[in-house]
Structure 1
Amino acid sequence: MRKITIIGAGGYVFPIRLTVDILSFPELRDSSLYLYDIDGERLARSKRLIDGIVERNNLPTRVEAGLDRREALRDANYVIVAFQVGGVEAYKWDVEIPRQYGVDQCVGDTLGPGGVFRGLRSIAVFEEIARDMHELCPDALMLQYANPMSINCWALNLMGIKVVGLCHSVQGTSKMLAHELGVPYEEVSFKCGGINHQAWFTEFKHKGVDVYPRLREVMFQKYPSPLEVDADTKLPQSRFAQRGLDHKAEDEVYYHERVRTEIMRTFGYFHTESSHHGSEYVPWFRKNPDIVNTYIPVRWDYYQISCSYQEESHQEYLRQLCEGPLHLSEEYGARIIHACETGEPVVIYGNVPNWGAPGTDPKHSRSHIISNLPHNCCVEVACLVDRNGVQPVAFGDLPPQCAAINRQSINVQELAVLAAMNRDRSLVYQAVAMDPLTGALLTLPQIRRMVDEMFEAEKQWLPQFA
C-alpha cells in the first residue's frame, strides 16, 4: 500500500481538495494517507472530514493523522507539502515593514523583502524535513506547494531531495488566454517556460495555427497603454473576482491585465502571474500610488485578504467537496501520483532544477533545460510523468528579453537560498537589495535598515540569524 503524507494537513480547504483529487482516481483509493500538522485541533478537523469522505464513498483508503513528523514521513512514497511558516503573524511583518519604507508589495510571498523572509523561515523547516526524508523515506517524491516556490525548491534541490514544485498559474493563465481569444480551451496548445510566477508563453496556437498576433491585437485593444490614450479617455475598468481552484474559462470573470499586457507590449510575450501579483517582481508598476492606480486601480492586498479570511465563506465549497461526487481539480499533484503508479503518462508544468530531473546530482549534468538561464536555478517547464518519474522536457532558449527579466528574479532567489543555508545575514541584505522593485525605490542604507527591522520583528521564527 503506497503511503502519501500531507505536511500542513490542517489547512482549511487545500488539503481536503488534494485528498479528493487523489481519491478521484480509482487506482489510488487503496492508498494510505498520513496527515501531519503542528496544530492538533486543525489536524483533527481535517481527519474527521477526510474520514467522512472515505466512509461516504465506501473506499478502502487508510487515513492516519499525527503530530510526529518523523512518523508521518516514515516509509512515505509521496510527501505533499503545503504550509506557511509563521502563519499570518509572520506574514504581517513581511508586508507592513517594507510598506513603511515605500515598498508596496501586493502579495509579498515570492520575491522582494517578503518573499526573501518567507524563504528564510521556510528553508529552516525544510532542512529538518530533508534530514528526516533522507533517513526515513529516501526515495520519496516531494510535491511542493509552499511559496516562495522557486526559493524553496532551489534549496530542496541542493539538499538532495527529489522534489517538483507545483503551482496553477500556467493552467490558469492558459485558460484565461483562450477565454480572451474566444476559443475552446481544449483546442489550444502552447509552449511555456521560465521561472515560477514568471514563465513565458512563447507559443500559443489554436488548432495548430499561431494565434499570438491575434492575442496581441485583442489584449492591446482591451488594455491600451496609459500613454496611448487621451487624458479624458476612461481606461477599461474591471471587477475583481477571486478565482477558486476550480474556476473555468467560461465563468464570468473580468480579467484585469494591464500590467501583463504592458509587459507584452514592450517585451513581446505574456507571462504566467496575474497583473496584481506580477507587478511586484519588476521595477515599473509600483513606484508610487499614482502609477499603481494607473495600472491596478482595483487594489488586491493579499495580506488584508488573509486577515479578513472567514472560514465560513468556504463552508459551501467545503461541503460540496466532502459530500459531492469525487472529481478532479486542475491541480497537478494527484495526476503526478497516478502517472507514477500506473504508468499512464501525463504532461504537467513543474518547477524543477535547470540541470535535469528532480533528485539528480548537478555535478553529473552540464545540460540546461532552459539553455539561457543559470544551470543551478529552478525553472518551470513542461514535464512528462510516468513510471520513470518526473522528466522535464528540454525547452531550449527563451527569447533573450524574457530570460533577462527572469535573471533579475533568479539573482534574488540565489542570494536568498545561500543566505538561508549559510545563516549569513549579509547575504540577506544583498538579496533584498537585488530585488528589482526594492532597488528602484530605496537606497542601500534604507534597505539595510528595513532588513534589520524585519529581522527584529521576525526573530522568533529566525533564531539562526540572532
Structure 2
Amino acid sequence: MKFSNDKVSDIQIAYIGGGSMYWAKNLIADLALDHQLSGTIRLYDLDFEKARKNEKLGNSVSDYPETKSKWTYKAYPTLQEALSGSDFVFISILPGTFQEMDSDVHEPEKYGIYQAVGDTIGPGGLVRALRTIPMYVEIAQAIEKFSPDAWVFNYTNPMTLCTQTLFEVFPKIKALGCCHEVFGTQGVLIRMLRDLKGIEDVHRDQVKVNVLGINHFTWIDQATYQNMDLIPLYRQFVDKYFESGFENNKDAWVTNPYTSANRVKFDLFRRYGVIAAAGDRHLAEFMPPWYLKDPDTVRSWKFGLTTVQSRIEKHAATKLFYEKLISGEEKLPLKPSGEEEVRQLKGLIGLHEFVTNVNVPNVGQMKGIPLGAVVETNAVFSANSLRPVYAGELPVEVNNLVLRHVLNQETTLKAAINKDKSLAFKAFVNDPLVNIDVIQAEELFETMLQNTKSYLPGWNT
C-alpha cells in the first residue's frame, strides 16, 4: 500500500467467491464511491469465467462520471495467485447449489420442522456447516501459506462456524466476521425515535449500542441517542406495536419472504428485557419452535418462510439484470450498500478509528461464554488493530439460550473437522428446532447427509 496525505493507493484485496452476482456488485459500488482508497481487487472463484465477468463489470465502473476512485479488477485462475501479495482477503462463497439448499430447508418440513432461513442453525444450518467447513479449512490453509499477514473478512453463513474454522486452522489469522443484522435493529431504533419523539434525520452512528451474543442471535442491553436511554422508550414502542408489528412498508412481510413485522423481536424483549438484535427470520430459528411450529404460527408472527423456490426466482431475476450489466445494456447503480467493508478497511489501514460490531473469538469481552468461542460484540478498528470492546454479560436466562448454541456449534465444528458422523448427529438432535422423536431425527439426519454427500469427502455416509 502507498500513502499520500489522506489517500491510500495500491491496496491489494483478494476476493474469494469473486464470481458472485450479489455481494460483488455492492463491493464494486461501495469502493467506487470512496475517494480515499484505490488498488486492485484480485478475483478468485471456482468458476473462473464468473470471476472474469466481475473483472469486466468492475473495470467498467472506472469510466462512470460519478466514480471517485480507481480500482483495477483482475480474475485469477488459482487461489495462490489471488492471495499472494494481498493486504486484505474477502470471503463470500455459496456452499452448494439450490439442490442442497432445498434439502437443507425443505426436507425437515416432512417431519414438521420449519425454518425461516436454514443457513445458520437448525437442521439446515448444521448440514450447510458440515459442507462449508471443509472449504474453509482449505481457505485458511491457503491464507496461512500465501498471505499470512492479510486481514480476512468473512461474509459467508453460517458466519460463526466459518469464522471459527479460520481460527481453528490458522490460530494467528487476523480475521473477522461481518454481518449487517445489528444495523437493521439500529434502523428500528431510529424509526422509533421518529415515531415516539418526532426526532428526524438520526444517523446510525448516533445510536450507540452494546452488542452481545453470537451471529444472528445478538442482543443489545444498552442503547442511547445523545445520552438518552433508549431501553425505556423501546418498551413503550414494543407495547404500542406488539400486536400490529412495525414495518417500513405496512404488510410488506406478506409478499416479501425476506422481511418481517418485528413481532418476534418484540416478543423476545417482553420475555427477557433486552433487545434482540437480528431479523425475526433468524431469531425464530434459535428458539424452540414457538414461532416456527407450523406455517400458520409463522404467519401469526408476521414473517415468512423463505422457500428455495423464492430464492431460485430471485436468482433468475438477478442473473437477468447481471447479464445486462455485463453486456453494457444497463449501468450498475452507484449507491451505498449499507455494508461497512469500506469503513472497516479505512479503519485497519489507519485513516480513522471507529467502533462497530464484528464476529471474533472471545478473549474476555463477553462473560458467560467460553474463551475462544466466536462471539459478536463491538470492537475498535484502528491502524492494523482490531480490539474487542468489553461487552459484559447477558442476563443468565438469555445467556443460557446463547450458550446452548455456542456449545452445539463447537460440537459441529469438531464433527466436521474429524468427519465424525456420530458427533454430528449429537449436535443435530440437540438443536431446539429438532423437536421430534429421536428415531425420526436419525432418519432425517441420514437423508440430509445423503443429499449433501458429494460435499463430504472422507465421510462414512
TM-score normalised per structure 2: 0.87
Deviation at 1:420, TM superposition (A): 0.9
Deviations 1:88-124 (A, max 9, x none): 2211111121111111111100001111111111110
**Do structure 1's residue 417 and structure 2's residue 413 form an aligned pair?**
yes
**Aligned partner of 1:397 among 393, 396, 399:** 393
Return the offset for 1:407.
1.0
User: Could you tell me which amino acid in structure 2 is paired with residue 454 of structure 1?
Assistant: M
**Correspondence for 2:92:** 82
Q: Which residue of 1 aligns with 2:191?
A: 179
Counterpart in 2 of 1:406? 402
CA contact (8 A) 2:210 2:223 kept: yes
Partner residue in 2 for 1:434 = 430
Aligned to 1:292: 298
2:24 pairs with one of 4, 15, 34: 15
- The farther-off stretch of 201-210 and 60-69 is 60-69
Q: Is the 8 A contact 1:193 1:398 kept in 2?
A: yes
The total of aligned residue pairs comes to: 431
**Residues 409 and 85 from structure 1, CA distance in 2 versus in 1: closer, same or farther, beyond 3 angstroms?**
same
Secondary structure in structure 1 of the residue aligned to 2:115: coil
- Residue 78 of structure 2 corresponds to which residue in structure 1? 68
Is the CA contact 1:78–1:140 (under 8 Å) kept in the aligned structure 2? yes
Pair 1:202 & 2:221 matched: yes
Letter in 2 for 1:52: S
Q: Which residue in 1 is equivalent to 2:158?
A: 148
Q: Identity across aligned pairs (percent)? A: 27
Distance 1:23 1:285, change over 3 A: same
Please list every run of 5 or more consecutive structure 2 residues that lacks an aligned counterpart in the other structure: 1-9
The amino acid of 2:105's aligned partner reads V
CA distance in 2, matches of 1:222, 1:450: 38
> What does residue 315 of structure 1 align with?
321
Name the SS for the 2:375 alignment partner: strand
Q: For the residues of structure 1 that align with 2:344 and 2:15, how far apart are their CA atoms?
A: 15
The answer to whether structure 1 residue 238 and structure 2 residue 251 are counterparts is yes
Structure 1 287/61 Cα, relative in aligned 2: closer, same or farther at 3 Å? closer
> Mapping of 1:190-269 within 5 angstroms?
190-224=209-243, 238-240=251-253, 256-269=261-274
Cross-structure match for 1:453: 447
Q: State the partner residue of 1:104.
A: 114
Counterpart CA distance in 2 for 1:328 and 1:345 is: 20
Question: Quick one: distance in 2 between partners of 1:165 and 1:25?
Answer: 22
The 3 A distance-change label for structure 1 pair 212 and 59 is: closer
1:166 aligns with 2:200: no
The answer to whether the 8 Å contact 1:85/1:121 transfers is yes
Retained in 1: the 8 A contact 2:43–2:75?
A: yes
Secondary structure of 1:463 counterpart? coil
Contact 1:412 1:435 in 2 (8 A): yes
The whole-number CA distance in structure 2 between the counterparts of 1:317 and 1:349 is 34
User: Displacement of 1:326 after TM fit?
Assistant: 5.2
Is the Cα–Cα contact under 8 Å of residues 12 and 311 in structure 1 kept in the other structure? no
TM-score (norm 1): 0.86
Aligned with 2:82: secondary structure? helix
2:59, 2:71 within 8 Å by CA — same for their partners in 1?
A: no
Cα deviation for residue 255 of structure 1 reads 5.3
